[in-house]
Amino acid sequence: MAALEILGLEKSYPTGFWRKTFRPALHPLHLTVNEGETFGFLGPNGAGKTTTLKLLMGIIFPTSGTARILGSDFRDPEVKREIGFLPEQPYFYDYLSAPELLDYYARLSGVPEGERHKRIPELLERVGLGDAGKKQLRKFSKGMLQRVGIAQAIIHNPKLIFFDEPMSGLDPIGRREIRELLQGLKDEGKTIFLTTHILSDAESLCDRVAIIHKGELRGVGVVEDLTSKAADKTEVVWRGSHALSALSNLLTEEHITGDIVRGVVSSEQVDSLLEKLRQQHAHVISVTPILGTLEDYFVAQTSGHEEVKA
């Protein structure tokens, strides 16, 4: 069963004095997230990531379209027992201590009293706040607040957890701590929906990613597939620089060191290149696909260039 199915969710805001024109914030979005998957929802600032999450959480209402969360309509309040949510740069009731905050959210999610008393200290320990005690949240650092935020998102042991930019605004150590917490949840088999614009985090954590730009889905797939599409090049190294004159029209890059040539060719031209090298009696040393990065793919999808399509 899919953990999340977004079926054409769309959001437009009325603008202008008469509010008769509409500015689209999210074009009809279709997306499926499988159970147990860590899914990255990537896009630059203002792309529509938070709008999508706000729609799914019932904070704003869609102009059209619907979604199913764990098989139920996304508007069904009961399905929210099974989901957790950490908003971007969250602010919590700063007059509460961490245990009080978690107790409040656990009560709202229907966690029985006995379980709350057991789970709260365990969870605080897990997020590294075991010694926070009765200190009010107004005295917490940003990193500590983010860890409380993760704790409140999982206090009721949800199956599907939404994280909106969980690493934004944190220092490198804070980012690593949050990444390790997310990795721990992933290892437990939780389904994670993660929005971020920090691509290295997405690359290291996510099984699949989607890229959204200007409210439109630009690509979705397994990270390795997308990055190979982004690169789409192969490096061929051979001995025999005499062959170069017959090949220069195929190569996008060439480097010669003595008699050794390192040429870069688009992946679809590899066979032609190898055939010509054989005809020229050159000795092929290696053929290596060049791995692209998620950043290459992201930039291609969001900069307006259309040469890479998912």
Partner 1 sequence: MIARLSAISFNTFREAVRDRVLYNLIVFALLLVATAPLFGEISIGVERLILVNVGLSAISIFGIIIAIFIGIGLVSKEIEKRTLYTILSRPVRRWEFIAGKYMGLLMTLVVNAALMTAGFYLALLIVSHGLGKDDAALLVAVYFIILEFFIVTAITLLFSSFSTPIFAAIFAFALFAIGTFAEDLRNFAALATGLTKWLTTAAAYLVPNFSALNVISQAAHSESISGKLILLNTLYALLYSLTATAGAVLIFERRNLK
> Residue 42's closest CA among 182, 175, 196, 184?
196
Among 18, 45, 61, 306, binds partner 1 (CB under 8 A): 61
Give the CA-trace dihedral at 278, 280, 282, 288, to 10 degrees.
-60
User: Binders of partner 1 among 148-187, rule CB under 8 A?
Assistant: 152, 156, 162
Report the DSSP beta bridge partners of residue 2: 34
CB of 26 to partner 1, least distance (A): 13
Q: Does 58 bind partner 1 (CB under 8 A)?
A: yes
- Please provide residue 96's backbone torsions phi and psi, each rounded to the nearest 5 degrees: -100, 155
Q: Is 306 in the site for partner 1 (CB under 8 A)?
A: no
d(CA 273, CA 280): 11
Nearest to 109 by CA among 71, 146, 77, 137: 77
Q: Rule CB under 8 A: say whether 77 interacts with partner 1.
A: yes
Least distance between partner 1 and beta carbon 42 (Å)? 21
Report if residue 84 touches partner 1, rule: CB under 8 A.
Answer: yes
The smaller minimum CB distance to partner 1, of residues 60 and 251, is found at 60
Closest approach of partner 1 to the CB of residue 36, in Å: 21
Q: Which is nearer to partner 1, 83 or 182 (CB)?
A: 83
User: Does residue 81 touch partner 1 according to CB under 8 A?
Assistant: yes
* Residue 271 tokens, joined: 């066979």
**Listed residue (86, 87, 96) closest to 140, CA to CA:** 96
**Which of 12, 280 has the CB closer to partner 1?**
12
> Are 25 and 9 in contact, with CB atoms under 8 Å apart?
no
DSSP state of 234: E
Window 104-123: residues binding partner 1 (CB under 8 A): 104-105, 107-110
Q: Does 145 bind partner 1 (CB under 8 A)?
A: no
* Site for partner 1 contains 190 (CB under 8 A): no
Are the C-beta atoms of residues 29 and 9 closer than 8 Å to each other? yes
CB of 107 vs partner 1, minimal distance in Å: 4
Which tokens hold the place of 171?
């220092």
Using CB under 8 A, which of 21, 34, 93, 291 touches partner 1? 93
239 strand-pairing partners = 260, 283
Cα–Cα distances in angstroms (integers) from residue 301 to residues 24, 246, 295, 297, 298, in the given order: 19, 35, 10, 6, 5
Q: Which stretch binds partner 1 (CB under 8 A): 37-45, 92-100, 223-231, 241-249?
A: 92-100
Binding mask 212-241 for partner 1 (x = CB under 8 A): ------------------------------
Point out which residues bind partner 1 (CB under 8 A): 54, 57-61, 77-78, 80-81, 83-85, 87, 90-93, 95-96, 104-105, 107-110, 152, 156, 162
